[in-house]
Amino acid sequence: MHRLPESREPTRIEDGRTPLSRRDSILPFWIPLPMTAVTSKSRAESHNQLAIEQALSLCLRHQHPVTLLALDVAEFENLRADIGEARMESLVSVMAEHLQQFKRCEDLLIINPDSHRMLVILPATDVQGGHQLARRLLARFDEDVIQLDEFQIEVSLRIALHGYETLEDADPSPLINATLALLDNTNPEESLVMSESARQAMARPHPHSTDTLAAGLLAKVRRKGDSGLLDTLKPALSRLPESERMKLVDHLLDLSTRLDSGLARH
């Protein structure tokens, strides 16, 4: 949805560029954020490709899950016709700034300059964690009104969710293309669409910590204080796989900043 000023006719594309005739699923390159004015497209593509391959190689090597989110603006063509291509670019930049608040340092946020679609790659994040993040993003943008010049814009997102518990290889192309294809091959009125592998992962029971263990740790804190709890946890933490320690760090950061991050709950 988008809201236009009552006293103004819809603004058409006014920067001289030809509107895109279609929005391909398989995109030729992605431009990472941030990108300076002197960054060439080829250099950006190379840098971005390397970052994605490194993230997926880490997940493959340590058998971590990986989840991808592809984000699109609903009614994109109508909105661009109303506010113009230049403001559309500004709108996507503002949206990307909002997304930065929800990502960890190891997550990749990438934008395509032609389609204005955004891709979020979440290493060591299972589908349940990606699903929670997607729901939070939809709720966040549903509440926000973005001001651009005289326009107040209510952005409706469409999010595609795709992921695997374990990767067979680190080639990013099948993962990215499958995620983007969900946006084109599903009902455009659906705000959150999932791949078949994501649906299967969501259907599986998700393990949780037992109440008995939590109660025991709390009792130890009462008896011996915080230092006693740390002494108890250190041997167990030293045996945790790296992926589990990454999740624990996320939880601790959430508690420290009092931010209930969807990225940590997986």
Looking at domain 44-203, its CATH class is: alpha beta
In the chain, what is the straight-line distance between the N-terminal and C-terminal CA atoms, in Å?
A: 31
Q: Name the residue ranges covered by the structural domains of the chain.
A: 44-203, 211-264
Q: How far apart are CA 83 and CA 149, in angstroms?
A: 10
Q: DSSP 3-state assignment of 249?
A: helix
What pLDDT, on the 0 to 100 scale, is given for residue 242?
A: 72
Q: How far apart are CA 221 and CA 199, in angstroms?
A: 40
What pLDDT, on the 0 to 100 scale, is given for residue 32?
A: 46
What is the DSSP track for 55-92? HHHHHHHHT--EEEEEEEETTHHHHHHHH-HHHHHHHH
HSE-CB at 187 with a 13 A cutoff on CA atoms is 5
What pLDDT, on the 0 to 100 scale, is given for residue 120?
A: 93
Give the pLDDT confidence of 225-261 residue by residue, as tens digits: 666 667 777 777 777 777 777 778 777 776 665 544 4
Give mean pLDDT in consecutive 10-residue pieces for the chain, a chain of 266 residues.
40 30 38 46 67 88 92 81 81 84 84 82 91 91 81 86 89 91 85 94 69 61 65 73 76 60 39
